[in-house]
Structure 1
């Protein structure tokens, strides 16, 4: 797993808040502002750069890996994203709907970037307190220039444990360019000025590398996934309840730095993202969820830990998590609920049967003098098996 993590940062979008007209340069105000980070370690850097150099040569004629160069060539973008899957990194993304900021009193360009600086710093430092950050050489009025200043002045000694930004020119750093390409690809999934019908394909590829993706506001009104028609496999009211309860837990626990809470938030965030942006009817395997939790904490977790310290506490907290032999998901239909009950029954019923046989043998052997279920703490089991 990754140690001594380094995040290569880039962004997409502009700071215009006037969505009614184009700028003097003819540029539309982006509806979203996106910050991405490619998170990796030093140990696989040489191999990563080798793959990225091949991507640069194949698709960009040895020039910068640039999302704008690909533009609306969605076939080529998909091919590039598939090739990037071979590189050992994880993706952090922060996606802000700028249209919602006006209601928060942020009507000026400067206030937008200041808000984003605090938000990006909080999310990144909360994810990895010991993260080293690298970006391109920023311009004087750029978002990154302000973010670097914000971290250095306010949080570097505390939140980042003396980690520092490293500076590199964008044309000389393929990982920063890759972060920019991914930001541009995410824009085509969410920003109204460049959104494309291929967005679900892009998200499906990117989610394999996803470490975490944060949205502001916390929940967009629209789901990216194509929702099924209401029926046996999809109940809108149940789906809404699942999302509401999941968001409630994330809101309460996202700032909790206890490791188990971090793992629970990581797992639930992945379930929620998949539910809202990939496919609300698909189960996610234990292995995929454990891999995601392990990627964030920096080491693998056991199945026992995952079941008892991640999934079980989520359910104890009132989050609806359905499970079956296919894995886990947020429930979106009655069948999902029945799957959970049926799966639980395959575990509970045999266990109760074994307890009953064990008890009966002891009762017979002791002529009724010893009943191992006689204690008050076992009265529920006693009531079931009697």
Structure 2
């Protein structure tokens, strides 16, 4: 199978002062996709464009002044006959503001690396990623390190299905910089204006896909997500549907407890939809989502009873695992079983103790006192007697 090369660079930067015109509102990663047999031809053609339009250095989007949209358009149009394709991930940072942990650079970069790595792996086989490991931005250096640490074992034919090469002077990486920077004029709130050509229309025959993150339950498509093959489709759809129904039902509810439940559930959904590698979200992380809101700091016991328990009572399916110390929206049968196994390990011993208590008192009083005859315990009596009959 012919190798596919992904020459990768980014536009945008880390930072959360989104009202500041010098802070990007979006973070864009672009992979220029080239078949191995076309690499030399693409390299030669891009180098020719570099020599004509950027004679004193590299192709860089930032070297084209914002007001020079016709010049940018002309350069982009000159790349159209070249045999390359575009695969981009566009992250709207404003939609991440409520995810407190991502406001730290290391966590944000890890989130981005996970998304881009999984999207590329899902879209292409026998892929070689090429990026500037040394001279690039701190994000690209982080991405290069991530890819190397998550490289795949060779297949049966001794070929790597997902590998990495670095290059600090690769002109096709420079093309990725140009495309990322060009797309930023379509997304970044500080760059949009009437003078900007419709670059997405100009590049439509080059674009394989532009994935926008974070996913929301409004735009989320389970079948197109990067790890759809790892889901049990029916389980994932049912659990997603129940969570979204709860949010839609109570989104305007002013009850403080409901609003706190929504905060927790939206975070669980955020992790579900955005392909986080951590299957279970630690209880402490979920508590942190509440601590910086008006709901404030609560105990683990209260969290389990009022947040998780309350949502489960409303038919939201949330898996919990004592062993894995966290919660998640289930996406496969094994995660539902985690939930069942966790609760059964608690419920059955408790029911056993209640039965022993009742039997001991009933025997000791020669049947005069049967604890379950009281009206308060009718449901418990019916449940136990049904269980014994079965």
2:187 is matched with: 190
1:1-386 mapped onto 2 (5 Å cutoff): 3-21=2-20, 28-61=22-55, 63-72=57-66, 73-105=68-100, 106-138=102-134, 142-157=138-153, 161-169=160-168, 172-199=169-196, 201-218=198-215, 247=219, 250-254=221-225, 255-257=227-229
Q: 1:199 to 1:253 in 2, by over 3 A?
A: same
The Cα offsets for residues 4-32 of structure 1, whole Å up to 9 and x where unpaired, read as 1010000011111122447xxxxx21100
Distance 1:210 1:140, change over 3 A: closer
Change (3 A) 1:140 1:7: closer
Deviations 1:49-70 (A, max 9, x none): 2221221122112521111111
Decide whether the 8 Å contact of 2:5 with 2:34 is kept in 1: yes
Is the 1:17–1:29 contact (alpha carbons within 8 Å) kept by the matching residues of 2? yes
Unaligned runs of 5+ in 2: 234-390
CA contact (8 A) 1:17 1:108 kept: no
> Conserved in 2, the CA contact under 8 Å of 1:19 and 1:31?
yes
When residues 83 and 36 of structure 1 are mapped into structure 2, their CA distance, relative to the original with a 3 A threshold, is same
Deviation at 1:124, TM superposition (A): 1.0
CA distance in 1, matches of 2:15, 2:228: 34
Are 1:17 and 1:109, in contact at CA under 8 Å, matched by a contact in 2?
no
Provide the C-alpha distance between the structure 1 equivalents of 2:92 and 2:50, rounded to a whole number of angstroms: 31
- Give the structure-1-normalised TM-score: 0.53
Q: What per-residue deviation string (whole Å, max 9, x for no partner) do you get for residues 338-368 of structure 1?
A: xxxxxxxxxxxxxxxxxxxxxxxxxxxxxxx
What is the Cα deviation at residue 212 of structure 1? Answer: 1.1
- Following superposition, the deviation at residue 179 of structure 1 comes to 0.4
Change (3 A) 1:198 1:113: same
In 2, Cα distance between equivalents of 1:251 and 1:144: 28
> What is the distance in 2 between the residues matched to 1:140 and 1:183?
14
- SS of the equivalent of 1:7 reads strand
Uncovered stretches (5+) of structure 1, i.e. residues with no partner: 23-27, 221-243, 262-386
The TM-score normalised by the length of structure 2 is: 0.53
Distance 1:83 1:62, change over 3 A: farther
1:137, distance to aligned residue in structure 2 (A): 3.0
Q: Which has the larger radius of gyration?
A: 2
Deviation (angstroms), 1:158: 8.3
Two-structure CA RMSD over aligned residues (Å) = 2.8
Residues 129 and 161, structure 1, Cα contact 8 Å, conserved in 2: no
Change (3 A) 1:202 1:219: farther
- Is the Cα–Cα contact under 8 Å of residues 12 and 187 in structure 1 kept in the other structure? yes
CA contact (8 A) 1:51 1:86 kept: no
Q: Once the two structures are superposed, what CA deviation does each residue of 1:262-288 show, in whole Å capped at 9, x if it has no partner?
A: xxxxxxxxxxxxxxxxxxxxxxxxxxx
